Structure 1
Amino acid sequence: MLHGSDPHVSIREHHSIRIYQMGSVHLKGLSKISSALALVVKAAIQFVILVWFLCVKIARPDAFIVQNPPSVPTLAAVKLSSWLRRSKFIIDWHNFGYTLLGLSHGRNHIIVKTYHWFESYFGRMADGSLCVTKAMQHELAENWEIKATVLYDQPPEFFHPTSMKEKHELFCRLKNDICPPNGAFDCIHTRNEKSFRFEASNELDHPSDSLFTSQVGNDIFLKPNRPALVVSSTSWTPDEDFSILLQAALMYDRRVSGVLGEDDSITEEKLWLDICKGEQLYPRLLFIITGKGPEKAKYEQQIKKLKLRRVAFRTMWLSAEDYPLLLGSADLGVSLHTSSSGLDLPMKVVDMFGCGLPVCAASYSCIKELVKVEKNGLLFSSPSELADEFMMLFKGFPDKCESLKSLKDGALAKSSSSKWSTEWETHAMPLISEIIS
């Protein structure tokens, strides 16, 4: 693997897993002269590094299993290494690399067409293939002449529902990120002209308290006046239109403000009193967006320009250990993934279901293979649809939102029934055993 974020501790310390880190290739000087030449040179260098690791650094395996994409130069490097070491070559198709490249260059660009040829040529040279959806299986069979076995992604064991103690400890660790003392001033942490403190309560100053939880002795409980927590993870890339979530949040904010009244001074005081009594009709929403990517700064600037009264955003990067805990502590997950090919499924939704978190997911061709509408999630195709779902799910939060509780029950049932080991032993192992026998 290339040097990046550390994997979960259960992976780093597993006795059967060896992680080899390869250095990144940077060609800044050459890219200024010719971007196309820089891509070719970079691919060539990566090819040599991959072959060196696969043929020299590691012990000979029975089979190489390579996830696609990326396709260039990975598929060629693994094919050569499998031939040199007399090992089998298996591809795990998670998406198509050429469709991802087409997001920035267009499907008809010569680079994209060349990438497509490369991907399909080496794809057909594999000894076996796995893929993540029935729709992709059909595409590979009909248009690529590749027979693939469907292996649905399942969350690792460390994606599971979060206990109350884990929630409290997590929110206490994240207290400064969620409610920075001199940072964002909004419905989570703000003052108006009358120096009116508008936050869950002054108990936030207590060391054993968080925005969402309180501890009294050994007892930990969720605050009835807490905001609803919505989590979305993103790579901040063009295949996820984050503006949809921003527009939906703005619509929710305006609709809730309209329900509460138009007079700001009265509205703020009335809302505060209702929150203290636990009688708010619609809760404040706190969106925590996790991930790294090229478009993050652009969207953070857009968030700063929004005039929100009932909604707040926080962007952060969490460790591999804390991310599953956050998913298991949230009230709702949002997926904006639409797939460059329309044939893969968002792993983030798989992880959310593993933690028992219901999901609102962007609708596209094969998403129903994962999200069962009105059972463990809902689908949306526009900002207004997503805003409607927020209004419907969070009305009466936290105790009187039956629709949200029903989806939560469905997500919890999914988390208990979906096991990676079962999926692997049922679908992947028979294929691999047949190939290497």
Structure 2
Amino acid sequence: MGGSDPHSALVDNHSLHIHTMSQWPTNNGALPKLFRSFMLLLKPVIQFITLLWFLCVKIKAPDVFIVQNPPSVPTLVALKWASWMRQSSVIIDWHNFGYTLLALSLGRSSRFVAVYHWIELHFGQFNPNHTNRATVLYDQPPEFFRPAQLYEKRKLFFRIKKDMFRLNSSIDCISYGITANDMQDPNTTIFTNKIGDNYQLRQNRPALTVSSTSWTPDEDFGILLEAVMMYDRRFAALLNENVSNGDEVFWKDVDEGKTFSYPRLLFVITGKGPEKEKYEEKIKKLNLKRVAFRTMWLSPEDYPLLLGSADLGVCLHTSSSGLDLPMKVVDMFGCGLPVCAVSYSCITELVKVDKNGLLFSSSSELADELMMLFKGFPNECDALKTLRNGVLETGLSARWATEWEANAKPLISKVIAGDLD
């Protein structure tokens, strides 16, 4: 219902017809508490009626409904009614369990969670007189998730320059020394500059790290904040012990007899959700010297470019059910981006340690990984280069179209033909 605009590849596809439903108002905070409770109860009822109108009246009767779960309420209830009324089959993409997500905020013992679980279990079983078939379909990135070319990076960084530089707010290690003229200069960004007729990446650029989040309880953003504070403190300790040169600090590696540097870190956090403002306030109070954060919402066209331009991805997703894999990591791999991800039960199906990424279970482990991966940035960070090469070797071959043809399409064909009995 409403929400974000789809990618232009979907909008421009004449085989697809997008029906947009009105989004439920979200600015209910100023309402009296009793009225807010009434609105929460009214919301699923209105959504249920709206869904039935679209599924049963506004669109033509399909051979099969395909729906992603969660949300289960009121989606699965409305879909069961609609499939019965229109004699259509149903395929559910069990992306996760809705009741386990609800339990993160209300607790497993909550009666609301128990009711939600019953609804999900009862209405998630379609065709009771036939065999319910399950097929594993791994998320894969579409073709537009790919490594970005230098000219694409330059154009992207110029488009989001105002989000990167914050002249009217507190100055950090990214905005320091930036003037209004710099903001208007099309040849200069944080990461690129123009030498003669050619553009190139800056040697003293910050390391760009991206984390995509829905700002929900199943992603503990506090782990990242603690990790960057550790990075900042360790950097300060190195600064006191070694030689500082402009934007970098150099130190002697006694074992290898080499000189290495550590970069400033710029974390770009994309996404929107209920806990965003809470963590933005926490970020403002960190007083970091060598690390900066930017939160933003990018267009469907710019988001893949950002991933394809970054140096490292961080995934904070911890599955509420322990069964789902984060699509954001799939997208990062599609863009050739290595990932540091929170460790949980099935994540190793996706993140192969020391091949395409690293896992962590605590903020100190993530801080260690940041120090290790960005040692010698941008030219001598061998550990980061090894992971990127691993992603490029294995992560660009599997695409959504291939996975669809191999697993989803045959299942849909059998459902339509009624061959699943």
Q: TM-score, normalization: structure 2?
A: 0.90
Cα shift at 1:51: 1.1
Q: Which moved more, 1:76-85 or 1:37-46?
A: 37-46
What is the CA deviation profile of residues 331-367 of structure 1, one whole-angstrom value per residue up to 9, with x for unaligned ones?
Answer: 0000000011111111111111111111000111111
Shift, 1:92, TM fit: 0.6
3-state DSSP of counterpart to 1:150: coil
Spell out the pairing of 1:238-317 with structure 2 (5 A cutoff). Answer: 238-261=217-240, 270-272=244-246, 274=248, 281-317=261-297
- With 88-97 and 156-165 compared, the bigger mean Cα shift is at 156-165
Matched with 2:98 is: 97
2:230 maps to a residue whose letter is M
1:37 deviates by 5.3
2:352 match: 372
The residue aligned with 2:5 is 6
Aligned residue in 2 for 1:234: 213
Offset from partner CA, 1:23-57 (integer Å, 9 cap, x none):
13349599833766544432222111111101111
2:408 matches 1:409: no
How many Å apart are 1:217 and its aligned residue? 4.8
Q: 1:300 to 1:274 in 2, by over 3 A?
A: closer
Is residue 247–residue 264 contact of structure 2 (8 Å, CA) maintained in 1? no
Shift of 1:21: 0.9
Distance 1:49 1:73, change over 3 A: same
Partner of 1:138: none
Report the counterpart of residue 16 of structure 1 in structure 2. 15
1:71 aligns with 2:72: yes
Structure 2 residue identity aligned to 1:229: L
* CA distance 1:204–1:226, shift in 2 (3 Å): farther
Q: 2:191 aligns with which of 212, 218, 221?
A: 212
Q: Is the 8 A contact 1:171 1:212 kept in 2?
A: yes
- Gapped regions of structure 1 (runs ≥ 5): 130-144, 191-196
Contact 1:63 1:436 in 2 (8 A): yes
In 1, distance between residues paired with 2:184 and 2:66?
51
Structure 1 residue 410: deviation in Å?
A: 1.6
One of 202, 205, 222 as aligned partner of 2:201: 222
- TM-fit CA distance, 1:244: 0.5
| Aligned counterparts of 2:21 and 2:39: Cα–Cα separation in 1 | 19
Q: Which residue number in structure 2 is paired with residue 194 of structure 1?
A: none
More helix by share: 1
Alignment partners' CA distance in 2, 1:35 and 1:274: 52
After alignment, is 31-40 or 68-77 more displaced? Answer: 31-40
Is 1:153 equivalent to 2:177 in the alignment? Answer: no
Aligned to 1:327: 307
- Per-residue CA distance 1:69-107 (angstroms, 9 max, x = gap): 000111111121112111111111000000111111111
CA–CA separation in structure 1 for the residues paired with 2:123 and 2:185: 60
The CA deviation string for residues 196-245 of structure 1, in whole angstroms up to 9 with x for no partner, is x5x7xx98874311111123354221111111010111111111111100
Q: Tell me the CA shift for residue 326 of structure 1.
A: 0.5
Cα contact 2:238–2:249 (8 A) shared by 1: no
For 1:128 and 1:41, locate their aligned partners in 2 and report how far apart those are by CA, in whole Å. Answer: 34
TM-score (norm 1): 0.87
The separation in 1 between residues aligned to 2:336 and 2:189, in whole angstroms, is: 22
Residue 102 of structure 2 aligns to a residue whose secondary structure is helix
Aligned to 2:398: 418
CA distance in 2, matches of 1:151, 1:363: 22
- Read off the aligned partner of 2:86 and give its amino acid letter: R
Separation in structure 1 between the aligned mates of residue 24 and residue 273 of structure 2, nearest angstrom:
18
Matches of 2:129 and 2:145, distance apart in 1: 29
| Contact 1:68-1:96 at 8 Å conserved across structures | yes
Worse-matched range after superposition: 170-179 or 204-213: 204-213
Determine the structure 2 residue equivalent to 1:360.
340
Q: CA RMSD in A?
A: 2.6
User: Aligned residue for 2:109?
Assistant: 108
Is the 8 Å Cα contact of residues 30 and 37 (structure 1) preserved in structure 2? no
Distance change in 2, residues 1:127/1:348 (3 Å): farther
2:174 counterpart (188, 209, 212): 188
SS in 2 for 1:171: helix
Q: Could you say what secondary structure the match of 2:262 adopts?
A: coil
CA distance in 1, matches of 2:127, 2:337: 37
Q: Does the 8 Å contact 1:8/1:321 carry over to 2? A: yes
CA distance 1:103–1:128, shift in 2 (3 Å): farther
Q: Percent identity?
A: 61
Match of 2:256 in 1: none
Query: Any conservation in 1 of the 2:126–2:132 contact (CA below 8 Å)?
Result: no
1:61 corresponding residue in structure 2: 62
- SS in structure 2 at match of 1:249: helix
The answer on whether the counterparts of 1:213 and 1:223 sit within 8 Å (CA) in structure 2 is: yes
Q: 1:129-208 maps to which residues of 2 (within 5 A)?
A: 147-190=133-176, 197=177, 206-208=185-187
* Count of residues in correspondence between the two structures: 406
Q: Write the distance in 1 (CA, Å) between the matches of 2:296 and 2:358.
A: 25
- Distance change (3 Å), C-alpha of 1:31 and 1:17: farther
Alpha-carbon distance in structure 2 between the residues aligned to 1:248 and 1:126: 49
Indicate conservation of the 8 Å contact 1:354/1:415, yes or no.
Answer: yes
- Name the SS of the counterpart of 1:400 in structure 2: coil
The amino acid that maps onto 1:158 is F
Query: 2:88 matched to which residue of 1?
Result: 87
Equivalent of residue 371 in structure 2, options 388, 391, 403: 391
SS at 2:194's partner residue? strand
Look up the equivalent residue of 1:272 and give its one-letter code.
Answer: G
Q: Check 1:146–1:82 CA distance in 2 against 1; reply closer, same or farther (3 A cut).
A: closer
Question: Partners in 2 of 1:366 and 1:287 — Cα distance?
Answer: 26
Native 8 Å contact 1:153 1:347 kept in 2: yes
Cα distance per residue 1:85-131 (max 9 Å; x no partner): 111111110000001111111111111111101101122225899xx
